Amino acid sequence: MELQAWLTQATHRLEAVGFPSAKMESQLLAGHAMLVDRAWILTHPDHEVNELALESLLQRREQHEPLAYILGYREFFGRRFRVDTNVLIPRHETEILIEEALRTEDRILRVLDIGTGSGCIAVTLKLERPSWDVWATDISSPALQMARENAELLGADIHFRHSNLFEQLSDMQFDLIVSNPPYIGRDEPLPIEVKEFEPNSALFADHQGLAIYEAIASEIGNHLAPGGQLILEIGQTQGQAVQNLFPASQVKKDLDGNDRIVVWTR
Ligand SMILES: C[S@@+](CC[C@H](N)C(=O)[O-])C[C@H]1O[C@@H](n2cnc3c(N)ncnc32)[C@H](O)[C@@H]1O
């Protein structure tokens, strides 16, 4: 079969499952199977393809496996991060947390990212502010392994610790603490792509999704230096509840107008 014919058929099949970017996804899947980029795919419509290899990728996507897990990467803040099913796929909304963190004055800071997952936050901060001393923790060893891999591939020098929140950081203090913790309540409805494929430990928290914020609030005094800043990503309905945990904090919105981060200065 020629590539163009496969692309047309794959686009129809992905549209039938309800994916709005079916055409682009088909091109990316073909490029992934053939180890070429999208530009090559677009310029070689007559190329003969191995239907069998393409079919298995297409079926995975039809079954709602996220495209990022099939391709093995996701772009975040202009860089490519490797991902697999051990880590949350970096979200565009999280870039607002990065922008807020980069507003912090540009001096040498000690920075902590709690629940680093793919490492997208810690690695981005280190690459955008090379003078910062960046630390990152995660409770999941496989996630931490992926974060280390991304740090190495992108050339970011970060101190990683396998830790439940602050446990392995003893009495360390930080000038800036950031986190996109699990914040979804255990009974909240979710799309299949998220619920069936992304790691539960990255998604859910007890107490309507507030448990990790509560745990951070109870320990923050020991780890945030006086005058230091805490920036937390939140679910869009959690602004008031998280603000209550950090008196005089500010809630900021994402580009869609939803509450997205809480900023607190000690
Ligand atoms: C929502 S994901 C965020 C991942 C990444 N920072 C991002 O923004 O894409 C939350 C991460 O927190 C980690 N995590 C969950 N509970 C934790 C805990 N008690 N201590 C440290 N990390 C935790 C999970 O393993 C997961 O990698």
Span 73-265: which CATH code?
3.40.50.150
Q: Could you give the CA distance from residue 176 to residue 185 in angstroms, rounded to a whole number?
A: 27
Closest atom of ligand 1 relative to the 164 alpha carbon: 20
Of 71-75, 103-107, 150-154, 213-217, give the lowest mean pLDDT range: 103-107
Single-letter residue type at 126: K
What pTM, to 2 d.p., does this model score?
A: 0.95
Helix runs in 18-84, H state only: 22-34, 38-43, 51-62, 67-71
Give the ligand 1 atom nearest the CA of 97. 8
H-run or E-run covering 161: strand 159-162
Q: What's the pLDDT score for residue 53?
A: 87
Residue 163, pLDDT > 70, answer: yes
Taking only the tens place, the pLDDT of each residue in 182-234 is 999 999 999 999 999 999 999 999 999 999 999 999 999 999 999 999 999 99
- Confidence band for 106, pLDDT divided at 50, 70 and 90: low
Q: How far is the CA of 177 from the centre of ligand 1 (A)?
A: 14
Nearest to 87 by CA among 77, 75, 73: 73
pLDDT of 100 reads: 96
Question: Considering only CA atoms, which residue is closest to atom 9 of ligand 1?
Answer: 90
**For the CA of 165, the nearest atom of ligand 1:** 20
Instruction: Report DSSP letters for 193-215, one per residue.
Output: HHHHHS-HHHHB-TTTTTHHHHH
Please give the backbone phi and psi of residue 219, each rounded to the nearest 5 degrees, phi first: -115, -5
Residue whose CA is closest, atom 4 of ligand 1? 117
Q: Is 118 in the pocket of ligand 1 (CB under 6 A)?
A: yes
Pair 170, 222: CB distance under 8 Å: no
Residue 104, pLDDT score:
86
User: Would you say 126 and 134 are in contact if contact means Cβ atoms under 8 Å apart?
Assistant: yes
The amino acid occupying position 190 is: L
